[in-house]
Every structure is written in C-alpha cells, then in structure tokens.
Structure 1
Amino acid sequence: MKAFKLENEPKRITGFKTPEHYFDDFSARVLQQVNDKQEVKVIPIYKRKRVLSLFAAAVMVIGLMIPIVNNYTNTSKDLDEDTLETYLSYQSNLNQYDLIKELDTKDIDKLNKGVALEQETLEDILASNPNIENLISE
C-alpha cells in the first residue's frame, strides 16, 4: 500500500461559496428577522393531555356501557313455561282452585284448543282410575 499524502493530492473545490461581506452584517439581519416575526399562539401540553384524557375516558365509558345496555334491552318480560311450572310446583299453598280463579275466558279458550282428547282416551282414563268419583266432582 502506498503512502497517502494530503499535501500532494489535488484539492477539490466545493460548489458552495459565501457572498462577499455576508458575515459583516449577519447578526443585525438575524436580530431584525427575529423581531419582525409575529407571536405564535402556543398551546400548552397539559391542556392537550386533558382533552385527550377526557376523550379516552368517554370512549371507555361508552365501551363499558354497550354490554349493559344490550343486556337490558334483550331481557324478555315473558316467562317461559318451564320456569312458571317450576315456580308453581314449589308453591305448597297453591291449589287448583286458586289457578282456576286467575284464568279468564281467553286463557280458557286457549286451553280448550290445546287439549285434543278423543272419546276413547277419555274412556280409558275413566276406566283405569279407581277414584272416578273424585274426577267427576272436580
């Protein structure tokens, strides 16, 4: 490897030159530009954080309220038959006469349409039941 000598190499000229007497009044020009600039409105960081934190809190509240509102709107007001039957079976002081008193004509019509007893089925039930007098009296 040959020795590298800086003094012997040709010097390259850069493309940049400063104009004549550029730095003579440089400080005066910079001060004049600084004084001529208008005041810029500065928004403090703590105010921006406050708005951002309020926005984040609102998003969190809305996000947490969605399942609660959805649960309240989807709950059904009607009782299903199994729940009602279980409730009535565990009520010891409830008899058939109490249930009959609560029925109106629409309910009785629905019960008549739902029960389809044939004559043969009715005869079989009456023939096989030893307490026929109880069934007739009820």
Structure 2
Amino acid sequence: MKTFKLENEPKIKSGFKTPDDYFDTFSTKVLEQVDKKEVKVIALNRRKKVISIVAAAVILIGLMIPIVNNYNSKSKELDAETLETYLSYQSNLNQYDLIKELDNTDIQKLGKNVALEDETIEDILSSNPNIENLISE
C-alpha cells in the first residue's frame, strides 16, 4: 500500500467563502436583529401555580360529589319495608301503642286506602271462629 501524505496531495478548494470583515461585524449585526424582535416571556412558575390550583379544585370537586349525593339522596320519610322490618323485630310493641301514635290525618289516610265491600267483611266474620274477639277490638 502506498503511503498517503496530506502535504503532498493537491488540495480541493471549498466553494464557500466568507466576505471580508465578516467576523468583525458579525456580533453587531446579530445584536441589531435580536433587538428588533421582542419575545413575550411567560413565567413558568406562574403557569405551574395556576395548573396546580386547577388540579386541586378538580380533585376537591371529585371527592365532594359522593358526599353531596349521599346527603341529597337520604329522604326523611321511611319506606314501607323499613318500617315493617322495624316493627316486626320489636317484641314489646303492640297494636295499642301504634294506635296511640296515630293522628287524625293518619286515620283519614288509612280510611281512604281501605276499600272493603260488605260481602268481604261478612265472609271474614263468618269464617272466623273468634267473632267476639274481633268485635271487641
């Protein structure tokens, strides 16, 4: 193999040339162009504060939704099943205690809901051997 020496080989000239005094005036030209364009600076720490406040608000609202639904869904009135279950497990509760707690409006509501015909009442009284007990109550 033949030895290669850079000094002896013909050199290829580059197609690029810099103008005279280019590097002397380069810094002043760049500074003039930078001064012409003003860039709006946005502080990153402000954006981070806003994003963190928004994220905290979203998390707080997300945690409050089940609590608000729980308070709004509770009705103050008892449903029939709950009341019936409660009364069935109370052994010391009798019919006189229930009657004592009824108001006139409750009695009127009970009267409207009961729709018994005379024939139904007669059938019940005739089939029941304890007629005297039913009449006394």
* TM-score, normalised via structure 1 length: 0.69
Aligned partners of 1:41, 1:121: CA distance in 2, in Å?
Answer: 90
Residue matched to 2:120: 121
Is 1:89 the counterpart of 2:106? The answer is no
* Moved segments of 4+, more than 4 Å: 17-20, 28-35
Identity of aligned residues (%): 69
Aligned partners of 1:86, 1:28: CA distance in 2, in Å?
Answer: 93
Aligned residue pairs, count: 126
**Offset at residue 126 of structure 1 (A):** 1.4
Residue matched to 1:136: 135
**Offset at residue 47 of structure 1 (A):** 5.0
**Offset at residue 107 of structure 1 (A):** 1.1
Residue matched to 2:70: 71
Residue matched to 2:111: 112
Higher mean Cα deviation, 22-31 or 84-93? 22-31
Superposed CA offset, 1:53-95 (max 9, x none)? 2321211111121232123212222211111111111111111
Aligned partners of 2:24, 2:81: CA distance in 1, in Å?
Answer: 99
Residue matched to 1:23: 23
Aligned partners of 1:121, 1:27: CA distance in 2, in Å?
Answer: 112
Q: Which amino acid aligns with 2:72?
A: T
Aligned partners of 2:32, 2:127: CA distance in 1, in Å?
Answer: 118
Aligned partners of 2:126, 2:47: CA distance in 1, in Å?
Answer: 88
Q: Which amino acid aligns with 1:24?
A: D
- Secondary structure in 2 matching 1:23: helix
* TM-score, normalised via structure 2 length: 0.69
Q: Which amino acid aligns with 2:81?
A: D
Superposed CA offset, 1:110-137 (max 9, x none)? 1111112222211221122121111111
**Offset at residue 29 of structure 1 (A):** 5.5
Structure 2: 5+ residue runs without aligned partners? 1-9
Aligned partners of 1:103, 1:82: CA distance in 2, in Å?
Answer: 19
User: Superposition RMSD on alpha carbons, in Å?
Assistant: 3.4
Aligned partners of 1:73, 1:26: CA distance in 2, in Å?
Answer: 73
Aligned partners of 1:78, 1:52: CA distance in 2, in Å?
Answer: 44
